[in-house]
Amino acid sequence: MTRTSDLVEDFGLARGQQADASWGARLAWQLTTARLEAGEVDRVLETALVQVRDSQEAPEDLFGGADSWAAEQVTRLSEQGATFVDERTDPNTFAVVSLGMAGIIALLFAVMLWFKYDDGAPFDGWLAATPVLIGAGPVLLAVVWERVVRKHPAWLAIIAAGAAAAPCVGLATYCFYRGQEAPHRSPAWWVAEGLLLFGLAALAARVIPEASPRCVRASGGRAVTDAEWIAAAEAALRERSDLSDAQVGEVLDEARAHAAQAGTLLAQEFGNPVGYARQLPGDQAVRHFRKALLNSFLVLCWVAITWGDWTSSLWGSAWRAAALALFVWQSARNWVGWYRVRAARR
């Protein structure tokens, strides 16, 4: 267990209330997703825990909601130049998440074939590759998006991510239909593959070294130049995915103008660039629009993978339709959210 998880448990022990532990867990989650360095997260948790333990009052009564108090701490620590982490998907995360997702998909295949299989049919290698390709596609898309959007416009990142994921979709479709030429397999084969993939994910977690966190500091050591501050802040703003390219430019221009007017360095005026970028409010219209594009892409991928196999059986048509309906609903929900935000601004 980590120091952070120990502190979260201590919240529940301080007054013997599990709700306090839930509050502490929510606080830790919000601080971590704000990219605050682990040591800084622990110090905030320790400060809150001491007050809860000494006063024997609920953290909700002392500090308010975990989300709002976390936002206050991020703002305060950013201005003080606390350390934040510039996180990126490393090979360890890519392997573990891809194999884990593939294992889940293999088990889903087992469930889908539970009522329709030939127990004596041999396992087919083409079908066996399908879960791996489906599992790797979304992770590859996320990695490419993450890398490209930090330095380039969002539209270019979308094209690059889609181009990177397209081969996985194409190969998965090919393998799926190539495997359909043979009789349906026993679900036991899929269960075995799922367990194997989970085992490989666990092995990858142990064997592939995790990348060291990229710490971004605005105080301590040499002074951070304005160019370095702008580069770090721009990357952190772009990867949030809830600000347009124009809005990112406006934020940075305002920061430059404010620092120039005050006659100080950006690091002195605004503190940590990553913390500054994470504390700013996002644009819900941009968030909904980009989620809608992603879910629309998933709809197209699902139609491509399952095209031509909808009438194989009532059971097969039912689960394919259910999955498609889920993707369409998610996409429609975000398109409607985008429209409502835009309409409210008129």
Contact 86, 236 (CB under 8 A): yes
Instruction: Provide the β-strand partners of residue 36.
Output: 84
pLDDT, residue 274, reads 82
Statement to judge: residues 14 and 63 lie in one domain: yes
Contact 58, 174 (CB under 8 A): no
Statement to judge: residues 14 and 40 lie in one domain: yes
pLDDT, residue 308, reads 61
pLDDT, residue 173, reads 78
Q: How far apart are CA 210 and CA 39, in angstroms?
A: 18
Statement to judge: residues 23 and 72 lie in one domain: yes
Whether 341 maps to a domain, the answer reads yes
Find, among 208, 194, 2, the residue nearest to 94 by Cα. Answer: 208
CB neighbour class for 239 (10 Å; exposed up to 12, middle 13-18, buried from 19): buried
Whether 92 maps to a domain, the answer reads no
pLDDT, residue 45, reads 92
Residue 335, number of CB atoms within 10 A of its CB: 17
Statement to judge: residues 7 and 70 lie in one domain: yes
* Residue that is last in its domain, among 79, 97, 126: 79
Whether 181 maps to a domain, the answer reads no
Mean pLDDT of the chain: 81
Check pLDDT > 70 for residue 12: yes
Query: 239 is in which domain, residue-wise?
Result: 217-282
pLDDT, residue 217, reads 58
Statement to judge: residues 268 and 303 lie in one domain: no
Whether 57 maps to a domain, the answer reads yes
Check pLDDT > 90 for residue 253: yes
Whether 233 maps to a domain, the answer reads yes
CB neighbour class for 263 (10 Å; exposed up to 12, middle 13-18, buried from 19): exposed
Whether 291 maps to a domain, the answer reads yes
Statement to judge: residues 247 and 263 lie in one domain: yes
**201 φ/ψ sector (left φ>0, alpha ψ -120 to 50, else beta):** alpha
Residue 312, number of CB atoms within 10 A of its CB: 14
Specify the length of the chain in residues. 346
Whether 11 maps to a domain, the answer reads yes
CA 292 to chain centre: 16
Statement to judge: residues 7 and 74 lie in one domain: yes
Kindly indicate the confidence band of residue 184, based on its pLDDT and cuts at 50, 70 and 90: low
Whether 65 maps to a domain, the answer reads yes
Check pLDDT > 50 for residue 120: no
pLDDT, residue 221, reads 46
- In the chain, the amino acid numbered 284 is Q
How many domains would you assign to the chain?
3
Statement to judge: residues 12 and 31 lie in one domain: yes
Kindly indicate the confidence band of residue 254, based on its pLDDT and cuts at 50, 70 and 90: very high
- Tell me the percentage of the chain whose pLDDT exceeds 90: 11
* Structure confidence by residue, pLDDT tens digits, 19-65: 889 999 999 988 887 778 888 889 999 999 999 999 999 899 999 99
pLDDT, residue 133, reads 87
pLDDT, residue 257, reads 92
Q: Which two tokens stand for residue 118?
A: 């030939």
* DSSP state, residue 183: P
Check pLDDT > 80 for residue 223: no
Contact 208, 95 (CB under 8 A): yes
Find, among 240, 304, 236, the residue nearest to 272 by Cα. Answer: 236
* Residue that is last in its domain, among 14, 49, 79: 79
* Residue that is last in its domain, among 226, 260, 282: 282
Instruction: Provide the β-strand partners of residue 85.
Output: 215
Q: How far apart are CA 56 and CA 54, in angstroms?
A: 6
Statement to judge: residues 72 and 7 lie in one domain: yes
The SS3 call for residue 35 is: coil
Give the C-alpha distances (Å, rounded to integers) separating 79 from 47, 73, 169. 18, 10, 45
- Start-end of H helices in the chain: 3-15, 18-33, 38-55, 59-63, 66-79, 91-112, 125-149, 154-179, 187-207, 226-239, 245-262, 266-270, 273-279, 284-306, 314-345
pLDDT, residue 213, reads 57
Q: Highest-confidence range of 47-61, 155-169, 176-190, 295-309, by mean pLDDT?
A: 47-61
